[in-house]
C-alpha cells in the first residue's frame, strides 16, 4: 500500500507546510505512475501538458521537499540523473533494483531478505538502521537472449 493524498496532507501539515494545488498535482503524477522512476524533467513533461503555469523550478523544489519529508525516495542509478519514486508506505524500506548494463532497463526487486542482516549489524555495531538501498548490475533477460542470438 503506497502513501495516499491524505498522508501527504498530514505529513506536510505536521512539518509546517501546506498541501497546495501545485503540490497535489505533482504528487498526482507519482500516483498515476507508481512503478516509474521519474526525474524532475519527467514530472515537468507530465505536468506541463495540462498545467503549463507550473514551472520546472516549482517542481524541483516540491520534489526536494517531498524527499526530505519521506514522501518520495530519491534514487540515482549512476547515470547522472536524479530520479524519484513514491514511497511504498510510512514504515517501508526502499525496494531494490536490477540495472541492465546494456539497455539500462531498471527492474524493481520486491524480495527483501536483509532484515536479519540489519538486525545483526545493529547489534554488533550499535547502529540504528532506518533504511537501506541496494542495486544489482548485470544483464536483463532480453539482452541475454540477444547476446545468445548474436552468437548463433
- Residue-wise pLDDT tens digits, 12-66: 999 999 999 999 999 999 999 987 889 999 999 999 999 999 999 999 999 999 9
Q: Which domains does the chain have, with CATH numbers?
A: 1-92 (1.10.10.10), 94-152 (3.30.1490.190)
Q: What is the value of pTM for the model shown?
A: 0.71
CA distances from 94 to 1, 52, 77, 110, 114 (A): 13, 32, 14, 9, 11
What's the whole-number mean pLDDT along residues 86-95? 66
d(CA 39, CA 2): 19
Q: Which helix (H) or strand (E) holds 108?
A: strand 106-109
Cell 541475454 belongs to residue: 144
- What's the confidence (pLDDT) of residue 115? 77
pLDDT for residue 92 is more than 70? no
Say yes or no to pLDDT of 1 above 60: no
Task: Please tell me the predicted confidence (pLDDT) of residue 52.
Answer: 93
- Residue 137 in this model has a pLDDT that exceeds 80: yes
Task: Report CA torsion sign: 48, 52, 53, 55.
Answer: positive
* pLDDT grade for 93, boundaries at 50, 70 and 90: low
Q: Residue 109's pLDDT is what?
A: 78
Task: Report d(CA 51, CA 66) in Å as an integer.
Answer: 20
Residue 68, pLDDT > 70, answer yes
State yes or no: pLDDT of 90 exceeds 60. Answer: no
Given a cut of 60, whether residue 91 has pLDDT beyond it is no
**Residue 94 predicted with pLDDT over 70:** no
Amino acid at each position: 500500500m503506497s502513501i495516499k493524498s491524505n498522508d501527504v496532507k498530514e505529513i506536510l501539515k505536521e512539518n509546517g507546510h501546506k498541501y497546495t494545488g501545485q503540490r497535489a498535482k505533482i504528487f498526482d503524477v507519482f500516483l498515476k505512475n507508481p512503478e516509474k522512476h521519474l526525474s524532475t524533467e519527467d514530472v515537468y513533461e507530465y505536468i506541463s501538458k495540462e498545467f503549463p503555469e507550473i514551472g520546472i523550478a516549482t517542481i524541483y523544489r516540491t520534489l526536494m521537499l517531498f524527499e526530505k519529508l519521506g514522501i518520495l525516495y530519491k534514487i540515482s542509478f549512476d547515470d547522472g540523473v536524479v530520479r524519484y519514486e513514491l514511497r511504498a508506505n510510512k514504515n517501508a524500506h526502499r525496494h531494490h533494483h536490477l540495472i541492465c548494463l546494456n539497455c539500462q532497463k531498471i527492474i524493481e526487486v520486491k524480495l527483501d531478505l536483509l532484515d536479519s542482516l540489519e538486525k545483526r549489524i545493529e547489534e554488533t555495531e550499535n547502529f540504528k538502521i532506518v533504511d537501506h538501498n541496494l542495486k544489482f548490475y548485470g544483464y536483463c533477460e532480453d539482452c541475454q537472449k540477444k547476446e545468445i542470438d548474436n552468437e548463433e
